[in-house]
Structure 1
Amino acid sequence: MITQGMGVLTNYGVHLAPGLVLFGLWFALTPRAMLAMRILILLTAFVLMRDAMTPLGMWSLSSEVQIAFSANAFVLAALGGMSVLLIMVLARTAPELWRLMRWTIGNPALGLAVGLVVGCLLGVPLRVYQGIEAFEIHGYWVWLPGMVVLAYGANALEEVLFRGFLQGYLEQQVTPLRAALISGVAFAACHAFLALSVTQLGWPVLLFTLIEGLACALVRMRYGVLPATVAHGTAILLIAVPYLT
């Protein structure tokens, strides 16, 4: 598992390297005072990192918005861990953006509970509709721990970018509700290339990501980025299955 996983991750890294180098240069050359531009660069780089996984066979989407991830738990855990590492790097190298972060607002325990409930409301109906039966999926329980790390680790990075940086920046320009709405719509719009070109699945993906984006943005507005991460990660975890080839 580990040897095969290292090969997958190496291939992914080599595939991404030219684009990430350019994004890194763009980010480094952009003055720190240009917050909006720096946020845009990070969002675009994230979209590249996410969407590049599809042609490499690391994940796939069905027309029913069922997400199948690599069956290699090591790959999933490594990607989730690297996402958390990237968050730590951003905290150290982009303090002007990190000041926009609000991990929790109000009662943290209540926020986490709300995030969990929202994630279940997003994921459970789709899981039931898709007929996911964990006990009938070969290797599901071996795969699940890696998927948990990916679901919450990778989506923590996505939430930091969309709800921490973007929504935090927008709240300085407009009302919190409008900032949340913009953040949610932007989240869905950043799935347009994935929906219309990479997978060609179209509106089901965009509709789900719009609902998910708005829900997470509203959770962030009221309770902070961490509860929004719980909502996002839980929803993805519930609708994910191993990608068996």
Structure 2
Amino acid sequence: MITQGMVALVNYSIHLTPGLLLFGAWFALTPRSMTAIRILILLAAFVLMRDAMTPLRMWALSDDVQIAFTANTFVLAALGGLSLLLVAGLAWVAPDLSRLVVWSKGNCAVGLARGLAVGCLIGVPLRLYQGVDTQAIHDYWVWLPGMVVLAYGANALEEVLFRGYLQGYLEQQLTPLRAALISGVAFAACHAFLALSVTQLGWPVLLFTLIEGLACALLRMRHGVLAATLAHGTAILLIAVPLVA
């Protein structure tokens, strides 16, 4: 499993390298004073990293918004861990952007509880609709720990970008509510290429991501990025299954 996982990760890295080098050069050449452009560069680079997984069969979407991730738990855990390293790396490379991230507001425990509840409200109905029977899925419980790392690690990176950098920047220019609405809509819009071109699944993906994006944005407005990350990760975890080769 580890050997196969390393091969998959190396293939993914080779696939991404040309594009990421260009995004990195673009980011490095953009003055720090151009905050909005730098945030958009990072968002575009993230979309590339996410959507490139589809043709490589690291994940797949169905028309009922069920997400299947590779059955290799090593790959899942590695991608989740690397996402957290990227969060730390961005804090070092772009400390000005990291100052925009509001991790927690008000009572942290209440925020986390609401984040978990919102994640369940999004994910549980879809899980029931999809009729997922974990007992019928081979090695589901072996796969699950790696999926937990990916669900919360990768979505921590996504939430830092959308709810930390973008929403944090917008709150300096607009009211918190309008900043949250833009963040939520932007999140869904950044799934348009995935929904309409990469997978051609269309409006179900866009509707799901719009609901999820707005919910996480409103959580960020009230409770901070940690609560939004918990909601996002929980929702994805609940609708995820192992990808059948």
TM-score range, shorter chain: over 0.9
SS of equivalent residue, structure 2 residue 22:
helix
SS of equivalent residue, structure 1 residue 196:
helix
Distance 1:3 1:101 in 2: 37
Which residue is equivalent to 2:14?
A: 14
CA shift, 1:136, in A, is: 1.3
Asked if 1:140 is matched to 2:136, the reply is no
Q: How does 1:108-147 map to 2 (within 5 A)?
A: 108-147=108-147
> Which range is displaced more, 130-139 or 5-14?
130-139
Which residue is equivalent to 1:158?
A: 158
CA shift, 1:134, in A, is: 1.1
TM-score by length of 1: 1.00
Distance 2:32 2:189 in 1: 25
Which residue is equivalent to 2:241?
A: 241
Distance 1:134 1:117 in 2: 22
Q: How many pairs were matched up?
A: 245
Distance 1:132 1:178 in 2: 37
Distance 2:243 2:130 in 1: 15
**What code does the residue aligned with 1:20 have?**
L
What's the % identity of the aligned pairs?
79
**What code does the residue aligned with 2:237 have?**
L
**What code does the residue aligned with 1:112 have?**
L
Asked if 1:180 is matched to 2:171, the reply is no
Which residue is equivalent to 2:44?
A: 44
Partner deviation per Cα, 1:77-109 (whole Å, 9 max, x = no partner): 000000000000001110110110100000000
Which residue is equivalent to 1:85?
A: 85
**What code does the residue aligned with 1:220 have?**
R
Distance 2:98 2:54 in 1: 30
**What code does the residue aligned with 2:113 have?**
A
Which residue is equivalent to 2:149?
A: 149
SS of equivalent residue, structure 1 residue 33:
coil
SS of equivalent residue, structure 2 residue 214:
helix
Which runs of no fewer than 5 residues in structure 1 stay unpaired?
none
CA shift, 1:186, in A, is: 0.1
Which runs of no fewer than 5 residues in structure 2 stay unpaired?
none
CA shift, 1:133, in A, is: 1.4
Partner deviation per Cα, 1:195-239 (whole Å, 9 max, x = no partner): 000000000000000000000000000000000000000000000
SS of equivalent residue, structure 1 residue 233:
helix
SS of equivalent residue, structure 1 residue 31:
coil
SS of equivalent residue, structure 1 residue 60:
strand
**What code does the residue aligned with 1:17 have?**
T
Partner deviation per Cα, 1:120-141 (whole Å, 9 max, x = no partner): 0000000000001111111100
Partner deviation per Cα, 1:148-202 (whole Å, 9 max, x = no partner): 0000000000000000000000000110000000000000000000000000000
**What code does the residue aligned with 1:139 have?**
D
